[in-house]
Amino acid sequence: MELVPYEPMTNNAPQRLSQGVSCGVYITADLEDIDWMIARFERWFAERNEVVQVDEGSTDKLGHGFVILEWEGCMIDPLFIAILRDEEKVIDYTMYQRTEEG
């Protein structure tokens, strides 16, 4: 059995998109969990200028809480999506891509 030398990942930068393209995620949770979720996201993305909180609030039909985040000019971190998928407080989420007109 041969050992393969360890090589650290050199490309951990966000995957860039075309100018004016953003990827976003719309996350729903119980309304009482939204403040907890926003505080966590603010800590995680404090040094990430490309990640922007677009909105927060409650849904009209069922009264769930929601948070909308966008990654300006790059793809959403796959690890973040994996965390959303596994987090019990997240009821649902959907990803989208938006192009600025201009």
Is 5 within a domain?
no
pLDDT of residue 21: 85
HSE-CB at 66 with a 13 A cutoff on CA atoms is 19
Instruction: Decide if 12 is inside a domain.
Output: no
- Please check whether residue 67 lies inside any domain of the structure: yes
Mean pLDDT of all residues in 6-18: 60
Q: Bridge partners of 92?
A: 28
Could you tell me if residue 83 is inside a domain?
yes
Between the two ends of the chain, the Cα-to-Cα distance in Å is 57
Q: What is the pLDDT, as a whole number, of residue 9?
A: 46
52 in a domain, yes or no?
yes
Q: Is residue 2 part of a domain?
A: no
What CATH number did the domain enclosing 65 receive?
3.30.70.260
pTM over 0.85: no
Output the DSSP codes for 9-38: -S--SPPB--TTEEEEEEEEE-GGGHHHHH
Q: Could you report the per-residue pLDDT of 46-99, keeping only the tens digit for each? A: 999 999 999 999 999 999 999 999 999 889 999 999 999 999 999 999 999 988
Asked whether the predicted pLDDT for residue 8 surpasses 90, the reply is no
Structure confidence at residue 94 (pLDDT): 97
Range of the domain at 94: 21-99
pLDDT category at 6 given cuts 50, 70, 90 is very low
> Is residue 14 in a domain?
no
For residue 13, is pLDDT > 70?
no
Structure confidence at residue 10 (pLDDT): 46
Q: Two tokens at 54?
A: 């677009």
When divided into structural domains, the chain yields a total of 1
